[in-house]
Amino acid sequence: MNVSSHTLNQAEAALLDLDLEALRGLVAEALTMNPELEVFETLVTPALERIGRSWEDGDLALAQVYMASRLVERLVEEHLVGGQLAHRSQPLMAMAVLEDHHILGKRLVLASLRMGGWAVEDWGVASDPTLLAERAHSAGLGFLLISTLMDRSARRVAEVVQTLRALGASTRVVVGGAPFRLNPALCREVGAEATVAEASAVPALLASLVGAP
């Protein structure tokens, strides 16, 4: 789906103005010709990421990022409802957002995985990298998926990985979000195993990783 800069500007403005109806209208128009997941990946996600980058640049208050995220949360609830999980032999998996109080990336990934028949636990927002790693180790996770919006929280994934190694855990960490899409090398810098740019690509990535040691 190709999104014009004008439409993206409109989506960003709607989020900053907390105008749910305007955002609904943009999404509804895009849905007439595109699948739901694709619309969120190419329209809503980039608009929210723009707002996140503006906060990092000091141009917006954190409260604006939070309120925009809450607006998106309502829209996600209206469109991306998880269906029945297919039975699949797989390692235990969970997904969390690290520090950033946003859910869009996580919800898109969960929706994509569930549509593909993968069972993944939703661990919400984790504020402490060490506690997240300890929880993953205690649960015996095969894979821990971590979503971030800000560069600062993306770099704290390194603390998760270091704690897992110190515990002797075999949990494999997969990361996603704007910082990793803008700088794919960051994945290796923080010690994660893999990343992909789009939520729709996560099922194929996990399928390849499950088949590899």
CA 53 to chain centre: 15
Enclosing H/E stretch for 37: helix 36-39
Supply the pLDDT for residue 82. Answer: 52
pLDDT digits (tens, 9 = 90+) for 112-142: 787 667 888 999 999 999 999 999 999 999 9
Supply the pLDDT for residue 86. Answer: 47
Strands (E), the chain: 93-98, 121-126, 143-148, 172-177, 194-195
Residue 81 pLDDT class (50, 70, 90 cuts): low
Supply the pLDDT for residue 85. Answer: 45
Supply the pLDDT for residue 35. Answer: 84
Q: Is the dihedral of CA 192, 187, 153, 74 positive or negative?
A: negative
Supply the pLDDT for residue 87. Answer: 42
CATH number of the domain at 93-210, out of 1.10.510.10, 3.20.20.140, 3.40.50.280, 1.10.645.10? Answer: 3.40.50.280
Give span(s): CATH 3.40.50.280, the chain.
93-210
Q: Which CATH superfamily is domain 5-79 in?
A: Methionine synthase domain (1.10.1240.10)
Lowest mean pLDDT among 37-41, 129-133, 162-166, 182-186: 37-41
Strand order in the sheet with 172-177: 121-126, 93-98, 143-148, 172-177, 194-195
Return all residues near 4 (Cβ < 8 A) that are at least 6 apart.
Answer: none
